[in-house]
Amino acid sequence: MSTRFRWMSLRRQEVALIAVTAVWGSTFLLVHWAMQHSGPWFFVGIRFLVAGIISIVIFRSALRGIRWRDIGAGIAIGVMIYLGYGLQTVGLQTIDSSTSAFITAMYIPLVPLAQWAVFRKRPPAMAFVGAGLAFLGLILIAGPDAFALTLGSGEILTMISTLPIAAEIILISVFAGRIDLGRITIVQLLTAGVLGLLTMPVVGEGVPEFSWIWVGCAVGLGAASCIIQLTMNWAQKSISPTRATIIYAGEPVWAAAIGRIAGERLPVTALIGGALVVLGILASELRLVRRRDEAPAAE
């Protein structure tokens, strides 16, 4: 028997996910800018309400036949979006966009394990190799203080946000193929937006002063969020959560590239850590293929 590695081929759904991953990576810097003029939960609420309104315009005809299971599925995914993006946005008040993107990438090794628990399908061996590399990368990104367990609040909140982000990807796959695409997109985006605004009085956050910066970022990110969630809902009808997550690995690369263009400068160890995170996720895309060696020809 001999063993070789094989890469999977791309389909149009995967190409679409690669495209929205580039868009996703660019959002970190915009959120970082917006946090200088707005509170996190207000911004999350406005961002996803804008996305929800855009999705209503696109899929307004689909609302006529909406069912309770559409609403339930949309709310479940929307709660995960609210928690994931909300905690991530709070974290971006104290850490730069590149660091946030790299730490957020830790949700990627979590998805194969969650897929195993939910779908009872064991991930390939390379997925665990990828998880180990990503964990090492996270330590390097966090810096020397990580060894003393003194991570800052921004890093900790961003790490926590990876759990609902992973849950969102799993839930999308759970409901994919059984729920109307337009309806679930509308409900999940509006749910995230409403919950974001309802969180403001709970944490004592007020409405910020008017600024074209947070308005422009909210509208732009609202449109981006609509495109991202719509594409994820569509593509994951035929792509496994682990496979989709591997593609999302490109997100921190895009975020880091855009962050550096904007003037952010990460330490060398953080850049190495980010590379290990991406390498770990790419490693989980490899498949071990075993084949029987051919018998030697008779003389």
Residue 270, number of CB atoms within 10 A of its CB: 20
Position 8 pLDDT exceeds 60: no
* DSSP three-state, residue 288: strand
pTM above 0.85, yes or no: no
Rounded-to-integer distance, Cα 249 and Cα 251, Å: 5
In a domain, 130, yes or no: yes
In a domain, 131, yes or no: yes
Q: Which residue has the higher pLDDT, 159 or 257?
A: 159
Question: Residue 49: pLDDT band by 50, 70, 90 thresholds?
Answer: very high
Assess contact for 104 and 250: CB atoms under 8 A: no
In a domain, 144, yes or no: yes
**pLDDT computed for residue 151 by the predictor:** 67
Assess contact for 196 and 42: CB atoms under 8 A: yes
Mean pLDDT on 30-38: 85
Position 125 pLDDT exceeds 80: no
Q: Mean pLDDT check: name the lowest of 16-20, 48-52, 148-152, 192-196.
A: 148-152
In a domain, 33, yes or no: yes
Rounded-to-integer distance, Cα 235 and Cα 134, Å: 25
Q: How many domains is the chain built from?
A: 1
Q: Which of 87-91, 135-139, 191-195, 205-209 has the highest mean pLDDT?
A: 191-195
Position 14 pLDDT exceeds 70: yes
**pLDDT computed for residue 29 by the predictor:** 73
Q: Please list the residues that pair with 4 across neighbouring strands.
A: 289
Q: Mean pLDDT check: name the lowest of 54-68, 219-233, 274-288.
A: 274-288
* DSSP three-state, residue 6: strand
Position 181 pLDDT exceeds 80: yes
Q: 97-135 b/e with 16+ CB inside 10 Å = b? A: bbbbbbbbbbbbbbbbebbeeeeeeebeebbbbbbebbe
The range of the structural domain enclosing residue 61 comes to 12-206+213-285
In a domain, 148, yes or no: yes
Residue 257, number of CB atoms within 10 A of its CB: 14
In a domain, 295, yes or no: no
* DSSP three-state, residue 100: helix
Position 260 pLDDT exceeds 70: no
In a domain, 201, yes or no: yes
